[in-house]
Amino acid sequence: MDWLDPLDAAMITADIVSNPLNIGAVLILSPPPSAGPGYVDDIYRDSLLAGAPVDPRLCRYPRRGVETAGGWVWREADAIDLRQHYRRSTLARGAGRAGLWHLISALHAEPLDRSRPMWMAYLIDGLDNGQFAFYIKLHHIVMDGVAGLQTLTGALSADPNRRSMPAFHADRYGPLPARHGLHVHNPLAMLRSALGTATSGVALAQRVLTSQVTSALASLTGDTTMPPVAAPYVRFNGRLGPERAVAAASWPKSRFQAFAPLAGVTSNDVATAVIAGVLRQWLSDQGELPKRSLVAICPITVHGHELSRSERHGNMFGAWLCPLGTNLTDPAERLSLIHRSMSEGKRHVAARGATASLLLLATSIAPTVLLPMLPFAPKVRVGYNLPISHVPGPRSEMYWNGAHIDEIYPISAVYDGQTLNVTTCSYADRIGFGYIAGREIVPDVAEMIPLTERALTELERAVGIG
């Protein structure tokens, strides 16, 4: 039998007793100039009639029963009925972007049917200027967010004249890859990857022990290294309700790149500092800004590190707990703190390896996501307050069957203890910010979009950008 790994089994069980762990992405597209009034209907029909083999990852589903002694195993679908996986929707007249995000919030909260492959795709028209949206959602056990975005953008082309392109669900990669070969960004997937490769023996144990001592000393003497369970408890660390709230928008990449010559920081540092400014203002408006800094868990790509044999085919992302400086009033000071912390994190992950860095974070991830499941969970300090991820998208303008891809937004997972998730995605000359939260936790998540512009403007002024 093809058993689900323990963390995947736990996540699919959580669907039954708690909330669905769905991830997804949204593409905003403009039809080609030659498109007629039924263009989106034609795309929908062609998607249903596509005859190409389906990606093997989208052909299996979890199953348990008497024959599996109650354990979860993978089953291969005998056939894929695309009518069960594709839906067509039109926004009400005048609904605009607000209506789109309201619809996607509702769709993202709906559980996926466990009796068939756990993915759905939606074509949604009715946006201004003839734009339409393509929204794909999958359960986290199908593939992680980075792999899903890569699969989605892999169906695109830089050629605006190319037609008869493969659908998202088409098999373009051959046999199903091993689970440990996927890149991961989500904290739960990070933990799975670390536990799955924690068999490298003495060398890994030495790196973990050395890292524990080094991190403990650094946390006592500096402000850029966070010990376990050092983040203040805020509403983002509570129980998740059944509803979701999604909002997204994009900004010119040049605004983030302009900080480099003045402050010596990366665009990701700037984006993280902007999110920190948003959270500081939003919590202050609620009268809930803690005196201690919020902490984000941030993935770090491994570059230039000589991987051990166990890591060579495993996770290529480490992670770091980054203080966001939400206790600082000066935006430039927050940016400096984030830059120094993330620089230290990159050195730490490069020196210790991805697996060791993730194993060290297990003591921060586990209490953050497990304590809220208890009936009387203490509202004390947690390991981190939210994940902040920066996903690289296509660097050039992309098209799908002649339709221009205007914007790309990942829609990440939220769960108990982590009810807010912020992901940015760079695409061509813009950076998109995607916010998702439990609606009961952040009912006005759309307000984070103007707060993002405000935080970016304040940061520009603080460092002297006109």
Q: Tell me the catalytic residues.
A: 140
Enter the tokens of residue 189.
């997937």
Q: Which helix (H) or strand (E) holds 109?
A: helix 96-109
Q: Which amino acid would we find at residue 61?
A: Y
Residue 199, number of CB atoms within 10 A of its CB: 9
| d(C-alpha 155, C-alpha 169), whole Å | 9
Q: List, in sequence order, every residue forming a beta bridge with 3; answer none if it has no partner.
A: 73
Residue pair 129/163 in contact (Cβ under 8 Å)? The answer is no
Indicate the Cα dihedral angle 305, 256, 329, 419, nearest 10°.
Answer: -70
Smallest Cα–Cα separation from 9: which of 241, 182, 194, 192? Answer: 192
Is residue 241 within 8 A of residue 441, CB to CB? The reply is yes
How many Å apart are CA 106 and CA 415, to the nearest integer?
16
Contacts 24+ apart (CB under 8 A), 14-18: 14/415, 15/111, 15/114, 15/139, 18/240, 18/373, 18/415, 18/416
Q: Contact, 324 vs 342, CB < 8 A?
A: no
Closest-CA residue to 124 (of 142, 150, 97): 97
Interior angle at CA 283, CA 280 and CA 287, nearest 5: 125
Token duo for residue 379: 């509202």
CA separation for the pair 36, 24 (Å, rounded): 29
Name the one residue in this structure whose structure tokens are 């403990």: 216
| DSSP secondary structure code for residue 446 in this structure | G
**CA nearest 165: which of 329, 30, 52?**
52
Per the structure block, which two tokens stand in for 449? Answer: 């979009």
464: tokens are 């002297």
Under 8 Å CB-to-CB from 268, ≥6 apart: which residues? Answer: 342, 390, 424
In 385-447, which residue ranges form alpha helices assigned H by DSSP?
none
Spatial CA neighbour of 280 closest among 331, 341, 224: 331
Q: Which two tokens stand for residue 248?
A: 């997204």
